[in-house]
Amino acid sequence: MNKAYWVAFKSLLIKEITRYSRIWVQTLVPPAITMTLYFVIFGNLIGSRIGEMGGFSYMAYIVPGLIMMSVITNSYSNVASSFFSTKMQRNIEELMVAPVPNYIIIAGYVGGGVSRGLAVGFIVSMVSMFFVDLHIAHLSVVVATVLLTSIVFSLGGLINAVYAKTFDDISIIPTFILTPLTYLGGVFYSLSLLPEFWQGVSKLNPIVYMVNAFRYGFLGVSDVSIVTSFSVLVAFIVALYSVAWYLISRGIGLRT
């Protein structure tokens, strides 16, 4: 990356970080409050009756999934809302005519989404320590999983923003696709509890692999192969990046 492109990337990244940092009460605080409610309700109240799962207390078992859920949601929403706002305010035209490659534009926005996802993930992790002692079994797996997952959903948010025509379109994917897949992704339960048929169906859900890889990093247990989990993550990154690059290079949804 030459100096000019580096300046362009850094400018986009700083803009994105500044954007959500200036309204931190709306972007960083709500996930902490929401996850605290999950910890209290599912962890303390319901978890005390469930007992152990996978050889760990129920609270310890669901913490990695809850952290991952917050990372997914915030990585996606940050890029979706930011890029859509840029498009609707016609600022995207400045990027389209600037001598900046498409991969720099994608990297700048995705970098912003990743930074918010990691920031929220860190905050939620700190909150979880008030409820359970966190022990990391494989630090490299934790870091790699959260980074790759935030990239996947940042790219997904970018594609959503490209196609969206109104702000209502931004909420359709999270509401009707992302949220159901997340809740059915093994955040609150082990796939081993399901009948064999539904275990197979659940493995069609990509979030299952992300949550289990992240849980393996913390607890050392997983319902699916770690190699498969990382393969799914890399495959989604390649596929979504290719789609995002194609859409931006063609100006689809950006030009009127």
**Cα separation, 226 vs 131, whole angstroms:** 27
pTM of the model: 0.94
Write the CA distances from 133 to 42, 49, 61, 96, integer angstroms.
16, 19, 11, 48
In 109-250, DSSP assigns E strands to: none
| pLDDT band (50, 70, 90) for residue 55 | confident
Phi, psi at 53, each rounded to 5°: -145, 125
61 CB-contact burial (10 Å; exposed 0-12 / middle 13-18 / buried 19+): buried
In the structure encoding, which two tokens stand for residue 84, read together?
């859509």
pLDDT higher than 60, residue 256:
no
Contact 236, 213 (CB under 8 A): no
pLDDT higher than 80, residue 56:
yes
pLDDT (0 to 100) of residue 134: 82
Write the CA distances from 177 to 95, 220, 222, 256, integer angstroms.
30, 29, 24, 28
The predicted-structure confidence for 197-246, as pLDDT tens digits, reads as follows 999 999 999 999 999 999 999 999 999 999 999 999 999 999 999 999 99
pLDDT higher than 60, residue 83:
yes
| pLDDT band (50, 70, 90) for residue 1 | low
The predicted-structure confidence for 106-132, as pLDDT tens digits, reads as follows 999 999 999 999 999 999 999 998 888
pLDDT (0 to 100) of residue 168: 83
CA atoms within 13 A on the CB side of 38: 25
Q: Greater confidence, 71 or 43?
A: 71
Q: Average pLDDT in the 89-114 region?
A: 90
User: For the chain, what percentages of helix, strand and coil (3-state, to nearest 5) are there?
Assistant: 80, 0, 20
The pLDDT mean for the chain works out to 91
